């Protein structure tokens, strides 16, 4: 397979093409993040990493059209609403978004790693952090 023209040869399984493309994309992403961190030596590395990874530009990579959202967006907004109901009344306005983003991101990472290769540790760490920050006097009726 050549990643230059992304064409599948007859003797290559599609899964191999996808795996190689994902591996290349991951390597490119890490390389770009490290380059940004080196380019800003006077900025704390975590700030550079977070700002780069969560840059607004990544919402629309390469001018891609908006994907269909519909049902998925409704489920996401319902989950955010449910989380908002459980948070303390003095929680900052963006707390529900942060809790849902942490939960969904943690679950995806845990699924990728699997139980025995770090997935359970990710879930435990995120549960502990979220509950330590937000679990007091929830508003569920």
Q: 19 and 38 in contact (C-beta within 8 Å)?
A: no
Q: 89 and 77 in contact (C-beta within 8 Å)?
A: no
Alpha-carbon distance of 65 to 130, in angstroms, equals: 34
State how many domains the chain has: 2
* 135 pLDDT tier (thresholds 50, 70, 90): confident
Q: 50 and 69 in contact (C-beta within 8 Å)?
A: no
Query: Does 98 share its domain with 119?
Result: yes
Write down the pTM of the prediction. 0.67
Query: Does 45 share its domain with 72?
Result: no
Q: What's the domain range around 113?
A: 68-141
What are the phi and psi torsion angles at 87 (to 5°)? -80, 155
Q: How many CB atoms lie within 10 A of CB 96?
A: 20
Q: What is the pLDDT of residues 58-74, one digit of tens each?
A: 666 555 556 667 788 88
What is the arithmetic mean of pLDDT over 79-107?
Answer: 92
Query: Does 83 share its domain with 57?
Result: no
What are the phi and psi torsion angles at 88 (to 5°)? -60, 150
Alpha-carbon distance of 109 to 112, in angstroms, equals: 5
Query: Does 86 share its domain with 51?
Result: no
What average pLDDT does the structure give for the chain?
81
Query: Does 108 share its domain with 54?
Result: no
């Amino acid at each position: 397979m050549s990643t230059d023209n992304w064409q599948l040869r007859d003797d290559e399984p599609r899964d191999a093409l996808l795996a190689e493309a994902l591996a290349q994309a991951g390597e490119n992403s890490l390389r770009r993040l490290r380059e940004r961190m080196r380019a800003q030596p006077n900025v704390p590395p975590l700030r550079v990493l977070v700002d780069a990874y969560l840059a607004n530009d990544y919402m629309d990579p390469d001018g891609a059209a908006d994907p269909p959202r519909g049902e998925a967006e409704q489920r996401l907004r319902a989950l955010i609403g449910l989380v908002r109901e459980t948070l303390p009344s003095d929680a900052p306005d963006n707390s529900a978004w942060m809790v849902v983003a942490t939960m969904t991101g943690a679950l995806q990472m845990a699924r990728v790693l699997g139980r025995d290769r770090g997935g359970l540790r990710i879930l435990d760490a995120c549960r502990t952090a979220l509950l330590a920050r937000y679990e007091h006097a929830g508003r569920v009726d």
